[in-house]
């Protein structure tokens, strides 16, 4: 069996065979626009059998469908551009909230030592055995038992005293609130906390989000009150 001489040209040839190619890069465009359709239509007309002419009704139907599809695509593009414009406008308007004091859905309570902190609860349904757990980095410091509460917004108050009777310092405390519904399931309860907006950002879907003074990030539509 003869041995193939190894030289530079052979090595280049082997290397080229070993290289992978991207089939998508060289693939033809698979989408047909209206011009392509008309070109195919005229080609069919020019090459049709004179004894068996094609039904012109089908041509009109196909052309109508193509026009409707193109109109739908253009309308979708217009709607997308309008949506992007509205989202950009929302972000620009939300920028005026920077520095404002707000009430927003969140779970970090900024407590000032020596004061009573209001904790607003947003119950979606009536719950029994409602508990408010107040924690810091070391764990729970106090637990408030509120018993049964109807649906709606309710206020709980914390005097800043922990379980051992110590006065807690000014800090951001995490809130965990839950209760039991009529079916016996434990449900978490949203808390609405006072804070200040430090910055405005944009979510991946184009909507606006706010970074609060506590560092917590909430969607702008979760802000309940601005002052």
The pair of structure tokens assigned to 130 is 């409602």
pLDDT of residue 214: 85
Per DSSP bridges, beta strands 190-202 and 101-105 are antiparallel
Cα–Cα distance for residue pair 156/190, rounded to 1 Å: 13
Q: What share of the chain is helix, strand, coil (3-state, %, to 5)?
A: 30, 35, 30
| Residue 59 CB-density burial (10 A; 0-12 exposed, 13-18 middle, 19+ buried) | middle
- Contact predicate 94/220, CB 8 Å: yes
pLDDT of residue 6: 45
Q: Pinpoint the alpha helices (H) of 1-125.
A: 8-18, 23-26, 34-46, 56-94
pLDDT of residue 157: 94
CA-based radius of gyration for the chain:
33
Ramachandran angles phi, psi of 50, nearest 5°: -60, -30
Q: How far is CA 29 from CA 24, 37, 69, 71, in A?
A: 10, 14, 18, 20
Q: Is the model's pTM score more than 0.85?
A: no
The set of residues, in sequence order, having a beta carbon less than 8 Å from that of 103 and lying 6+ positions away, is: 120, 192, 193, 194, 223, 224, 225
pLDDT of residue 209: 86
- Domain 100-195 CATH class label: mainly beta
| Residue 75 CB-density burial (10 A; 0-12 exposed, 13-18 middle, 19+ buried) | exposed
User: For the stretch 116-153, what's the b/e string if a residue is b when 16 or more beta carbons lie within 10 angstroms of its beta carbon?
Assistant: ebebbbebeeebeebbbbbebeeeebbeeebeebeeee
Residue spans of the chain under pLDDT 50: 1-8, 13, 17
């Amino acid at each position: 069996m003869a041995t193939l001489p190894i030289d530079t040209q052979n090595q280049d040839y082997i290397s080229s065979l070993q290289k992978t190619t991207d089939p998508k890069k060289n693939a033809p465009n698979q989408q047909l626009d209206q011009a392509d359709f008309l070109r195919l239509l005229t080609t069919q007309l020019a090459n049709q059998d004179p004894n068996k002419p094609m039904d012109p009704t089908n041509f009109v139907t196909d052309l109508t469908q193509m026009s409707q599809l193109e109109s739908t695509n253009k309308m979708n593009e217009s709607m997308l551009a309008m949506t992007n414009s509205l989202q950009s406008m929302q972000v620009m308007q939300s920028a005026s909230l920077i520095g404002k004091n707000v009430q927003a859905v969140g779970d970090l309570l900024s407590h000032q030592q020596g004061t009573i902190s209001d904790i607003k609860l947003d119950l979606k349904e009536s719950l029994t055995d409602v508990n408010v757990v107040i924690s810091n980095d070391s764990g729970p410091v106090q637990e408030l038992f509120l018993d049964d509460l109807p649906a709606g917004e309710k206020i709980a108050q914390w005097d800043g005293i922990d379980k051992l009777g110590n006065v807690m310092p000014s800090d951001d405390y995490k809130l965990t609130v839950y209760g039991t519904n009529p079916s016996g399931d434990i449900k978490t309860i949203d808390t609405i906390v006072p804070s200040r907006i430090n910055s405005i950002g944009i979510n991946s879907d184009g909507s606006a989000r706010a970074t609060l003074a506590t560092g917590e990030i909430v969607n702008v539509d979760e802000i309940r009150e601005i002052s």
